[in-house]
Amino acid sequence: MVYLDNSATTEPWPQVLDAFYKAASSYFGNPSSLHRPGVEAETLMDKARESMAALLHTKTEELVYTSGGTESNNLAIKGIAMKHRDRGRHLITSTVEHPSVKEAFSDLEVFGFDVTYVPVNKEGRIDPEDIEKEIRDDTTLVSVIHVNNEIGTIQPIEEIGRRLAHYPKLYFHTDHVQGAAHVPLDLNKSFVDLCSLSAHKFHGLKGTGVLFIKQGVFLSPLFHGGSQEQAARAGTENVPGITAMSKALRMSREKKAEDNGRLHSLKRHLIDALHEIQGAKINTPTADSAPHIVNVSFPQMKPEVLVQELTRQSIHVSTKSACSSKLQEPSTVIQAAGLGEERAASAIRISFSFDTTKAEVDELITVLKTNVPEMQKVMGEKK
């Protein structure tokens, strides 16, 4: 099997699964309980929090555990908006956000919030000046994705953060889910107030995430019923998932340090090969894009048909965000970048992990070079 859909989810590493199993079997107590099994579970969770805080260069009390990226994004956006609604109801985001961000803002609009959607250029990149121009006296939150989950564009988060630092009553959130392993972000240099991560994007387990909330930032919780996680997220913590997430993040950072540009080279190799296929249009920008994502369109072809043909040959890629891939609609990200509806309606996403090999990429290239022309011919005959 050639698995190239790592932006949707990564395969948990064996060491991560071992950490999960040990925590689940030996530290099964409720970490809020006062008896010994509860205290042992809490101690293990605290050690995981300390490890993650060291990796992210944050304070332990600034990390709130969640069920994943979607919850972290919703907690950050809705939590800040609702907490500070008396001061202002204007929010700013971009036109190329993940559905969990986009739909959170859409929901807030129903409740009377005014949302400005800042456009991007043809590389899917925001101009920080465009964001600053939209700031008003009643603006309370700016949320911008760090690494785009579909085309891999890296947004200038540090520059945006430096500009927003001049507006002390405004909060800055970033969806760091796709960048956590491959494009680490310095939260301090970026002046970020809130930052979302999801374990299963860096070889952890699904159902576990974290939200960085800068000390001194307060938000309204989504859940009620307990004082866990600094009263920001009620509910019994997933100690095994948290332990595994800490292990996965540490291993991912180690793999990143050892990578030495290998994934960038693999990405260039794939893009060069895709250019040899007639009609292929690369949607991932050449510069300032993540090393693990390549998005390509084959105009006039249905991407879901190509994905199914590839999976029939045990090669697994995707169309767009896994959260919306079953919706047979053109990519809103590619449309927002002004690349046209035809490219938006015919795009597939290929995404690597640290474990991806050149042999696997070459296998994909061989199959694409054989199957795409044949499928294009069939499509032409049907016309």
Domains of the chain: residue spans and CATH: 2-8+260-382 (3.90.1150.10), 14-254 (3.40.640.10)
Q: Which of 17, 323, 336, 365 is catalytic?
A: 323
CA torsion sign for 239, 240, 243, 248 is negative
Sites in the chain below the pLDDT cut of 50:
325
Structure tokens at 309: 């043909």
* Of residues 371, 317, 266, 309, the one with CA closest to residue 2: 317
Using a 10 angstrom Cβ sphere, with 0-12 exposed, 13-18 middle and 19 or more buried, the burial of residue 63 is buried
What pLDDT score was predicted for residue 227? 81
Q: What are phi and psi of 221, to 5 degrees?
A: -70, 155
Chain mean position to CA 365: 26
Pair 102, 144: CB distance under 8 Å:
no
C-alpha to C-alpha distance for 197 and 208, rounded to whole angstroms: 9
pLDDT at position 258 is 94
345 three-class SS: coil
Spatial neighbors of 6 by CB under 8 A, at least 6 apart, are: 201, 292, 351, 352, 353, 356
195 classed as catalytic: no
Q: What does the alpha-carbon distance between residue 307 and residue 368 come to, in Å, rounded to a whole number?
A: 11
Largest CA distance in the chain: 72
Residue-wise DSSP of 276-313: TSTT-EE-S-SSSB-TTEEEEE-TTS-HHHHHHHHHHT
